[in-house]
Structure 1
Amino acid sequence: MKWNLRLVAAHRGIWKAGELQNRLAEYGLTVSAGKMSGLWSGAPVSLKLSDLDIICAALDCEIGELLVPETASVPVNELTGRTAAATCRDDQRTGT
């Protein structure tokens, strides 16, 4: 997965980590300077789903805008030529 926070923030006129930190505080999420640096500069090692929800609310975005799949890094089944996620989705649709 690619962490796309800076691009999503930039599309909303937020260009600095401090600006986003202030916006998140307005939505009830207090983020330390160290954690904010990690969120801003690269993919976070871990992130609470509740924090992710607040980030999405503060940026008025969907999770899929922040977390973008990188298909090149997803293992593909050699027999079917499909990813596990694609196979799972098909199985859910067909009930198999």
Structure 2
Amino acid sequence: MKWNLRLAAAQRGIWKASELQRMLAERGLNISAGKMSGLWSGHPASIKLDDLDVICAVLGCEVADVLIPEPDKVTRPAAEQMPQQAAAGATIMVAPRRRDGRSLPPA
């Protein structure tokens, strides 16, 4: 996903992060200067869905205006490549693994 807050704000005449921060605070969303900097610069560490709702309400936009999908950046899992090997007659052995990282008892 590409974060597009700055462009979405600019399209609505908001050119400064501090202006958007003030508008968000008027709607009850108080964002620290550090978090606002991350949101404005295009590299937010995280964002709550409730906060995203307030941002969209203040900007009068949809989530799709702020978040742009980038499906080409997603790598294909190895499982999608394995059927080609299986079709060639190779036998695939699957060993169970525990999710907590511990080893299984000996067989």
C-alpha distance in structure 1 between counterparts of 2:56 and 2:50, whole Å: 10
Aligned residue runs from structure 1 range 6-85, under 5 A? 6-76=6-76
Find runs of 4+ consecutive structure 1 residues off by over 6 angstroms.
none
Give the length in aligned residue pairs.
79
User: What's the CA shift string for 1:33-73, capped at 9, x where partnerless?
Assistant: 11100100123111111101100101011111110001321
The higher radius of gyration belongs to 2
Where do 5+ consecutive residues of structure 2 fail to align?
A: 82-107
C-alpha distance in structure 2 between counterparts of 1:43 and 1:37, whole Å: 9
SS at match of 1:61: coil
C-alpha deviation, 1:74, in angstroms: 2.5
For normalisation by structure 1, the TM-score amounts to 0.75
1:5 maps to 5
Where do 5+ consecutive residues of structure 1 fail to align?
A: 79-96
C-alpha distance in structure 1 between counterparts of 2:42 and 2:12, whole Å: 19
Across the aligned residues of Structure 1 and Structure 2, the Cα RMSD in angstroms comes to: 1.5
For normalisation by structure 2, the TM-score amounts to 0.68
1:93 maps to none
C-alpha distance in structure 2 between counterparts of 1:57 and 1:12, whole Å: 12
Q: Which has the higher helix share?
A: 1
